[in-house]
Amino acid sequence: MPLSFSHHSATALLFCASILGAFSDTCAAVDFASPDDESAPPISGISPKYLPAYSPPADGVSWAGHVDSELFTNLSGGIQRGSTGHIVGQFGVSYDTQKAGFWKGGKFTLSLMGIYNSAAQQDYSGDIQTASNIWAPDALRFYDAAFRQHWTNWLSTRVGYMDVNYDFDVTTNALQLINSSFGMTPTITVNVPGTPTYPYSGLGFLVEAHNQHLSSRIAIFQGDPRHQTSAFTRGYMALWEGDLRWDGPKGGHRGVGTEDNGRYILKVGAWHYQQSNPHRYGLSPTTSGVYAIAEGNWDWSDERQIGAFAQLGGAPQTLNPVPWYLGLGLRLSHPFVNRPDDSLSIGMARAWLRPDSAADSLGVAAERIQHAETAYEATYVARLTEHVTLQPDLQYIQHPGGHHPNATVGMMRVHIEFF
């Protein structure tokens, strides 16, 4: 995988920096909060693409790093029984212009990711939703290289190489679940191989406006993030998302990197993928879809908290192999009195399948394809030390790929944070 930036990305970042020079005095006169929205929420054992909160070694400069190691075993059903190992490591640095003594609201981020897998987990379980959100082709690449600017207390922008799932289609209460569908709905990721999310972040530009209860963000990303030097010559993906949050402690941006999530959250989004030469690049044809997320959080007895979520996704065009998706789940924090930092999550992810598309990919008759693949998951995150968590996970997958026998999958993951 390429480790260098294209001239398009360099031009975009330099242009942004030049704009800042002209407006730095204006920004300095504005008093607004500058949340660390590039770091992960305070939830242990979260998806490995999210870095933990940055630790500051010096004024303006901070760093973070982690590694996730996992043993995946297909216990029964699917294609075949067997095991495979997955390892993902990420290291990142950030530069806060305000803390460094320059203008307010600016932050540069840069991270490097390495991925290694001993075998493809789908060769065992055969599922289309991907039971492990760690599995991906082996790679060593820049994962994040972006600049964010808070212009006022209600307007911000971000430009550079970044993961679209940092800001769009994020379900906070589902972040500990390991099945990939809980990270980003498969009506996007399965239908569009060019989605700029793990393991391929992409070049993009995002604008967000927000107040105490409402936020709206719009972005455009390159259409083939597997080729970092292609910029927008291989199509593009455009997204919009609006969210409503209420019964929370205060206002401001409440992205995946802040603790200020309202007690109740409702999100709706829409996306469009435009590709002029899908057959030439082996990508999805032009398509589009919508999604919605609802979350609730409640206090329970003995300092316990419970969170619930529902996810919906739709991409009904006949060319899409996954036209509909439904995800449901619960997360219980502090499940035991003597384990305040542990949590327990359960979830169901159901992806409806188009029999013709699934049959073509498997080389079987369409009448042999089931109309949906459903994964049921239970996972427990045990914080062993301040920097180490252990996460056993069990999934039961009905009709993997719409064709294979029901599979039972077990995983054991170790998450280590370095700083």
**Residues 66-102: pLDDT tens digits?**
999 999 999 999 999 999 999 999 999 999 999 999 9
- CA-to-CA distance for 297 and 173, rounded, in angstroms? 9
Q: What is the pLDDT of residues 349-366, one digit of tens each?
A: 999 998 887 777 777 777
Decide if pLDDT at 339 tops 80: yes
Decide if pLDDT at 26 tops 80: no
- Residues 381, 335 contacting (CB under 8 angstroms): no
Write out the DSSP string of 37-79: TTSPPS-TT--TTS----EEEETTEEEEEEEEEEEEEEEESSS
Alpha helix (H) ranges present in 323-364?
Answer: 355-362
- CA-to-CA distance for 381 and 383, rounded, in angstroms? 6
* More reliable by pLDDT, 144 or 364: 144
Closest by CA position to 235, among listed 189, 279, 176: 279
Decide if pLDDT at 120 tops 60: yes
Cis peptide before 285 (omega within 30 of 0): no
CATH code of domain 7-417: 2.40.160.180
- Give Rg (Cα) of the chain: 21
Mean per-residue pLDDT of the chain: 86
Cis peptide before 199 (omega within 30 of 0): yes
H or E stretch including 245?
strand 236-246
Decide if pLDDT at 147 tops 70: yes
Percentage of the chain exceeding pLDDT 90: 65
Compute the C-alpha angle 39/44/48, nearest 5°: 60
Residue 57: band (very low, low, confident or very high) from pLDDT cuts 50, 70, 90: confident
**Residue 367 structure tokens:** 């009448």
Q: What is the pLDDT of residue 366?
A: 75
Percentage of the chain exceeding pLDDT 70: 86
Residue 368: band (very low, low, confident or very high) from pLDDT cuts 50, 70, 90: confident
Q: What is the pLDDT of residues 170-183, one digit of tens each?
A: 999 999 999 999 99
Q: What is the pLDDT of residue 44?
A: 83
- Residues 112, 5 contacting (CB under 8 angstroms): no
Decide if pLDDT at 54 tops 80: yes
- Residues 302, 334 contacting (CB under 8 angstroms): yes
Residue 37: band (very low, low, confident or very high) from pLDDT cuts 50, 70, 90: low
Q: What is the pLDDT of residue 281?
A: 66
Question: 280 exposed, middle or buried (CB, 10 Å; 0-12, 13-18, 19+)?
Answer: exposed
Q: Give the mean model confidence (pLDDT) for residues 275-280.
A: 75
Collect all residues with Cβ–Cβ distance below 8 Å to 396 and sequence separation of at least 6.
375, 376, 406, 407, 408, 409
Amino acid of residue 318: T
pTM, entire model? 0.87
Give all strands (DSSP E) within 126-235, no chain letters: 139-150, 155-162, 202-210, 214-222
Residue 39: band (very low, low, confident or very high) from pLDDT cuts 50, 70, 90: low
H or E stretch including 396?
strand 388-398
Decide if pLDDT at 14 tops 90: no
- CA-to-CA distance for 44 and 42, rounded, in angstroms? 7
**Residue 376 structure tokens:** 């049921």
Q: What is the pLDDT of residue 376?
A: 98
Decide if pLDDT at 11 tops 80: no
Q: What are the backbone angles phi and psi of residue 206, rounded to the nearest 5°?
A: -130, 140
Decide if pLDDT at 300 tops 70: yes
What's CA 22's distance to the chain center, in Å? 34
Decide if pLDDT at 186 tops 50: yes
- Residues 346, 309 contacting (CB under 8 angstroms): no
Residue 248: band (very low, low, confident or very high) from pLDDT cuts 50, 70, 90: low
Question: 323 exposed, middle or buried (CB, 10 Å; 0-12, 13-18, 19+)?
Answer: buried
